Amino acid sequence: MDETSMWIGGAWTGASDGATGEVLDPSSGEVIANVPKATLADVDAAVAASRAAFEDRSWAAMDPAQRGRILQKMAAVTYAEAKNLATIESRNNGKTFREALSEIRYGAWTLEYFAGASDKIEGSTIPVPGNRLNYSLRQPLGVTAHIVPWNFPLQLALRSIAPALAAGCTVIAKPASWTPLSLLAWAKAIDEAETGLPSGVLQVITGSGGLIGDALAGHAGVDGIVLTGGVPTGKAVMAKASERLTPVTLELGGKGAHLVFPDADLRTAAKAVCFGIFMNAGQMCWAGSRLIVHEDVHDDLVEAIVAEIGKWPVGPGLSEGVRMGSLVHTSHRDEVLEKLNAGLAMGGEVVLGGAAMSDDHPAGAFMQPTVVTGVTEDNLLFTEELFGPVLAVTTFSEESEALRLANATEFGLLNGVWTQHLGRAHRLARDLQCGMVSINEYPITFPQTAFTGWKMSGIGVEQSLDALRFYTRVKNVNVKI
């Protein structure tokens, strides 16, 4: 069993009261580590370290190109350690090694991208009346707190850490209590590599999400909050942050839909639909959990999906050939099954899966890939985020009906369109009420493209140069000449 520490002020430390919490391998239920359970005093220490590092200007006032070079070194360390980090994350999260490795390399790519953006943060000169010089500056926001989810523990941490550091901010990262190990291991690798990152610029603090998240959201020493998580958590953090008018970026839930038309390449669509809902056992905010398919190709597409899933072995993430690992925790798996059964009571037919895999993995958080047809728009399987490997299938007959069904949700993150009709594709891209649309592939995202949600899917932008705006403040300067 591993004993881990938090990284605060450039030092590795336990909780101030010595308390620790167990971390499990969800595929077996085995305890694999003990991590510190931070106290409110530890939160204060992390904020103080971040504030001191920001105020001493060693990072905020550093030549931006030099900040970029340090981020490039951090990216190189991440690439070099990717296989080790992926092994840790697969064991701690339950996902396959293949998935974890791809995600961690994506995180390294994100560091590279924002390394190049460090010296691209620009102000502007504004024409004003009279003999005046008027210009604006973009200056670092300050101390930023990053509340990281358990579904992509390292990739999503780096998604927000990278632009924050590029902008000159300092960072306090709080991993989910179920999955802290890969972020801690990454921080250890960065520390040991001597990248040039000044002491106190980056902290990693572990413990209760409710206690630590609430404390960070309401802390007087925190200038910005970034959270990826569920809608209730996002609302709670936003409410707490509003007490001090602390700005927030929230990436929350989703109920993504595939809109599949008769002219679509059904073989390609079937593969993408499976990837978009059964990757990471369906535990993705951008999961394509709704399949809205034209009635003329419904049977053929469902048959192709069921055949494709037959090629997806389910098992422990570090096992050879496995395509879908366990869910993150047995309690979460049970919540998914409870919602599934509640939805089935409202209608629908299970054509694949629908149960836990207790016989094959009695102590693991495994669930069968599940496909439910005949789901109506008033069914919770259509409206609510299950965050598990459950695909709800609904039919349509007209393009307008497909659009209405896709938009009939409180979420608005990512939707997919499958058609060879150019006009239809662009009409739907325009009219879908979501932050991202993917046409004839799913999912797809890059560090240089905006990741953003509408409606209850969140506030703000992750990735792309637009993300940098959150981590800077605008200052206007007027000079009488």
Which residues are annotated as catalytic? Answer: 251, 285
CB 161 within 8 A of CB 190: no
CB neighbours of 279 closer than 8 A, spacing ≥ 6? 99, 324
Which structure tokens are listed for 428? 């739907």
CB 336 within 8 A of CB 327: yes
CB 224 within 8 A of CB 145: yes
Distance from C-alpha of 124 to C-alpha of 386, rounded to nearest angstrom: 45
